[in-house]
Amino acid sequence: MANPLDHVSQVSLSRLRRILRLGVKSLWLHGLRSFLTVLGIVFGVCSVIAMLAIGEGASFEAQQQIRNLGSENILLHSVKPPEDRKVSDSGSQSFVLQYGLTRLDLRRIEETIPGVLLTLPARVIKDYVWNISRREDCNIVGTLPRYPLVRNHGIAQGRFFTEQEMASRATVCVLSAELVDSLFPLDSPLGRQVRIGNNYYQIVGVMESRGSVAALEGPQEGNRSALHRIFIPLETARERFGEVYMRERSGSMESERVELHEITVKARTTEQVRDVAEAVRTVLEHGHKKKDYQMMVPLELLRRAERTKQIFSVVLGSIAAISLLVGGIGIMNIMLASVTERTREIGIRRALGARRRDIVIQFLAETVLLSGAGGILGVAAGLTVPWLVTHFSGMRTIVMLWAPIMAFSISALVGILFGIYPALRAARMDPVEALRHE
């Protein structure tokens, strides 16, 4: 024999279906009104999902960029101290401005600070790079073979230069992906040569594209040449370019001497980053009278980005809550009007045997249908909008799985919450009074 409970659940299921069908019919009777009511919820749900997707995408992008810099890393850059700028502007030919990070700094950091895993010095020289007659403004980065390891920067083609090449001061180079795009637009650069000044460099590899990460790397915010980078061995750079950098400016020669433009300090673990950063700051403050360097800790940027994201989420959440609240009030308003309008129907149903709870269920079903339809349309719109944003503006958007689910559940919940009062009001009517209602 079949379980009697099966029968009950089957009956109540088909009953539920009939109640919902009845609700659809009643709502259909005032199609436009129902549709307009639903719009409130549609926009609410859609904006929640879309805003979350855009916010999530933007913060993901930012975090990805910061993470690419290495969350264990501390980045140091040489900067020209502000008070010396004047001097150099009016400087004589013989004046050589000396500032920035030094090899002494590097040695001190390596030798005195516990928790430092690796350091990576780099010299950055601005110059033109030539491929036959094609010319690009470029940052020439002289660094060590462990650059890809320390900076978490992968090789797309070929290889990075080696210790042997470093020791022999070989004229080899690795290009950034962006530079390859503009310097070798048609064919593979591997094995080819580029010219810098009077020297030719053999191309042994191409780095992976990093997008706008490079914009964060240096103080030279986001100009094109910041993406255009060419990596050569540090010793080669020292030999070929020297340490004094000369530039002709408004008729006079301007010289500056910078030992190291960048130092990357890699801590052993992310937990140690904060302490190591403190120690590095102390070491540098001892060695430098002027503030001719800049320190950047990606991990702290990451933390800040995460905090920003949290605030963003709270703000979005409140906006969403308010828009859904407004939608809910709209539904309640319409349902109250509908209850008054259908007083007689309620009276008829009560006379024909409907219990109070049947009336409550009927009206609740209608509100839930309204808000549920709004929720579904809203989810559809909320999935379309981020797609359109990505498609047309190229912005990254990420729809988290929980976002549509949460938005839909909240809209359904709003329907139930705001439907309860009108439904109870309908059920509380006296059948005799309701039947007399015109």
Partner 1 sequence: MMTAPEPILNLEDVRKTYRMGEVVVEALRGISLRIDPGEYVSIMGPSGCGKSTLLNLLGCLDRPTSGRYFLGGEDVSRLDDDELSRVRSCKLGFVFQSYNLIQQLTVVENIEIPLFYQGVAEKESRRRAEELSRLVGLENRLDHKPFELSGGQQQRVAIARALINDPLLILADEPTGNLDSTSGSEILRLFDQLRESGKTLVLVTHDPSVSQRGNRTLRLRDGEVESDLRHG
Residues that bind partner 1 (CB under 8 A): 11, 14-15, 18, 22, 25-26, 28-29, 344-345, 347-358, 431-432, 435
Residue among 206, 217, 125, 228 at smallest CA distance from 160: 206
Determine the Cα–Cα distance for residues 427 and 421; give it in Å rounded to an integer.
10
| Burial status of residue 217 (CB atoms within 10 A of its CB: 0-12, 13-18, 19 or more) | buried
Q: How far is the CB of 29 from partner 1 (least distance, A)?
A: 5
> What gap in Å lies between CA 102 and CA 200, rounded to an integer?
28
Nearer to partner 1, 13 or 329 (CB): 13
CB count, 10 Å around CB of 431?
16
Contact of 156 with 150, CB cutoff 8 Å: no
The nearer residue to partner 1, 218 or 347, going by C-beta atoms, is 347
CB of 330 vs partner 1, minimal distance in Å: 22
Nearer to partner 1, 107 or 344 (CB): 344
Q: Minimum distance between the CB of residue 5 and partner 1, rounded to whole angstroms?
A: 16
Q: Toward partner 1, which CB reaches closer, 132 or 432?
A: 432
- What string of DSSP letters covers 114-132? TTEEEEEEEEEEEEEEEET
Minimum distance from CB of 348 to partner 1 (Å)? 5
Place of tokens 């855009």: 54
Angle of helix 356-393 relative to helix 298-341, nearest 10 degrees, comes to 140
Residue placing its CB nearer to partner 1 in the complex, 30 or 257:
30
Q: What's the closest the beta carbon of residue 374 comes to partner 1, in angstroms?
A: 21
Q: Bridge-partner residues for 200, per DSSP?
A: 195
Which is closer to partner 1, CB of 228 or CB of 349? 349
Q: From the CB of 391, what's the least distance to partner 1, in Å?
A: 42
Question: Considering beta carbons, is residue 11 or 337 the nearer one to partner 1?
Answer: 11
d(CA 163, CA 313): 48
Q: How far is the CB of 341 from partner 1 (least distance, A)?
A: 11
Whether the Cβ atoms of residue 140 and residue 194 lie closer than 8 Å to each other = no
